[in-house]
Structure 1
Amino acid sequence: MTEQQPVVSIITPVYNAEKLIVETMQSVLEQTYTNWEHLLIDDCSSDNSAEVIKDFSKNDPRIKLISLSENRGAAVARNVGLDKANGDYIAFIDSDDVWAITKLAKQVEFMQTAQLAFSYTDFAFINLSGELIKPSANIPLSLDYHGLLKNTAIACSTVMIDRKQIGNFHMPLVRKGQDTATWLMLMRKYQIKAYGLKEVLNFYRQVPGSISSNRLGALKRTWHTYHQIEELPLWEASYYFTQYVFHAIKRRL
């Protein structure tokens, strides 16, 4: 008898994403790995995002819409998804990103083969129209707590976490930068490394005006993570922040 594939719970916070969410959801539906559930948490969108998701869910019960009654931000939305998730593995995809069709299959195999608790993959940069900006982020093979402070190379849409090893967790309730803060928290709490699968399996969309595309905002967000959330002393926060800036510039060249 063939052993059943472990369930992967995919979590997507959604806010006014009707223009791009179809492509994101289609990339999940086209996965060669089929034992998944896709939890899409609508954060009180004012557009037709919820209706688009409902239409998809009518044709596939693996797609599940969860609607919030008020706008709470991506951290709360992801935490709601984490509470509702039934999977052995947790994966994330943002509402404007796109996966390669082999993303789940290759990453689950990568994690199972080496018994990894936390992994991420390489990713490419695309623009609003889906055109390639940069073919690879050239991720490091692994990152520990101090390595991630120096180089925030883990894109949220590339992450997969083994719940059997990590257990249940929540993201810090901050409006911005909760993903990196979460990876740091998990590494610090469990004394683990994250391991990189050096294959481009996610296409990270740079949307003009988005939180991730605002460079000054990214600098402020990262400094807040280091100094306020991680509570690093000023000199230590300054050291890691300098390293972060260097690697961020290098990654985008």
Structure 2
Amino acid sequence: MNAGINKQMLVSIIMPTYNCEKYIEQAINSVINQTYKEWELLVIDDGSEDNTVEIIKELSKKDSRIRFVKNEKNQGVSATRNIGISLANGNWIAFLDSDDMWDKTKLEKQMKYAEKTSAEFLFTGSSYINEDGEYYKGIFEVPDKVTYKKLRNHNVISCSSVLIKKRLFDNIKMEKDDMHEDYAVWLRILRTGILAYGINEPLLIYRISRNSKSGNKIKSIKMTYKVFRFIGLNPIVSIYFTFRHVIESVKKYKKIFAK
């Protein structure tokens, strides 16, 4: 790490990637274009078989803040994010999936909000694009803060919008790719009494893909149920909160896909 960098203000951005040659340059450029400049980007390839690695290497030559890491074998998104967290130099962690993008003011607005409020866990609203980069009309609005109890009713925290203190991962890791692993982590962190603070602006540009976990609705419902079981809720309570999620998700996507 550069000796001149203030570790307390440094944001370590974790970007796991796998066969994402079509979108990864846009994702990385959205980081390079941030108005907040105190960042490092850890791009961790999880065994890509397309031109993803070549694109990352070329971009890393243009900006020394980009660090390329390659897993020896495919480990899945949870393990890959955990590797990124373990290698991070910053006091702050942000996540960005390799097919999503950020508004150029995303980090600056979150860091200013954190400085003003002493928040340690922040997230933002989202706009949505399809696989061809075309915007949907609706945006996802978020509350100004979320508790553990509120988050059980609906996951309003998009992983690629999160900015969070690294210390909160000292005893909590991402696990189990057969569920919504990020949601499970947010619940476990908030259950310790931490609050998550939302910035109600579409600072995340989220790409809806047919191949994503959330793209298959039946699979997504099952994965939500697994989250509640994983954090220790009994089957009946888990079914109840899963049903709440289905209702909220229908409302969410109806608004996003509005004509």
Task: Indicate the residue corresponding to 1:155 in structure 2.
Answer: 158
Q: Distance in 1 between matches of 2:169 and 2:245?
A: 29
Greater shift in the superposed pair: 4-13 or 15-24: 4-13
Equivalent position SS for 1:212: helix
Task: Indicate the residue corresponding to 1:51 in structure 2.
Answer: 54
Task: Indicate the residue corresponding to 2:257 in structure 1.
Answer: none
Task: Indicate the residue corresponding to 1:217 in structure 2.
Answer: 219
Q: Distance in 2 between matches of 1:182 and 1:233?
A: 18
The residue type equivalent to 2:49 in the other structure is S
Q: Note if 1:237 corresponds to 2:238.
A: yes
Q: How does 1:65-76 map to 2 (within 5 A)?
A: 65-76=68-79
Task: Indicate the residue corresponding to 1:18 in structure 2.
Answer: 21
Q: Deviations over 1:128-166 (max 9, x none)?
A: 1111114411122222112111111111000010235x3
Question: TM-score, normalised to structure 1's length?
Answer: 0.94
Task: Indicate the residue corresponding to 1:123 in structure 2.
Answer: 126
The residue type equivalent to 1:235 in the other structure is I
Task: Indicate the residue corresponding to 1:249 in structure 2.
Answer: 250
Q: Distance in 2 between matches of 1:138 and 1:199?
A: 7
Contact 1:74 1:175 in 2 (8 A): no
The residue type equivalent to 2:247 in the other structure is F
Q: Distance in 2 between matches of 1:235 and 1:243?
A: 13
Aligned match of 1:29 in 27, 32, 38? 32
Q: Deviations over 1:142-197 (max 9, x none)?
A: 22112111111111000010235x35342124344111011011112x21121110
Aligned match of 1:202 in 201, 204, 207? 204
Equivalent position SS for 2:26: helix
Q: CA deviation at 1:102?
A: 0.4
Equivalent position SS for 2:244: helix
Q: Distance in 2 between matches of 1:163 and 1:91?
A: 9
Contact 2:126 2:202 in 1 (8 A): yes
Structure 1 unmatched ranges of 5 or more: none
Contact 2:179 2:227 in 1 (8 A): no
4+ residue segments displaced more than 6 Å: none
Q: Deviations over 1:202-247 (max 9, x none)?
A: 11000122222111111010011112x1121122112211211111
Q: Distance in 1 between matches of 2:166 and 2:115?
A: 13
Question: TM-score, normalised to structure 2's length?
Answer: 0.92
Equivalent position SS for 2:140: coil
The residue type equivalent to 2:225 in the other structure is W
Q: Distance in 1 between matches of 2:86 and 2:169?
A: 12
The residue type equivalent to 1:118 in the other structure is F
Contact 2:178 2:223 in 1 (8 A): no
Q: Deviations over 1:44-64 (max 9, x none)?
A: 111111111011111211101
Q: Distance in 2 between matches of 1:77 and 1:230?
A: 21
Q: Distance in 2 between matches of 1:192 and 1:117?
A: 8
Q: Distance in 1 between matches of 2:71 and 2:175?
A: 18
Aligned match of 1:95 in 98, 112, 118? 98
Quote the RMSD (CA, aligned, Å): 1.5
Task: Indicate the residue corresponding to 1:63 in structure 2.
Answer: 66
Identity over aligned residues, as a percent? 37
Equivalent position SS for 2:240: helix
Structure 2 unmatched ranges of 5 or more: 255-259
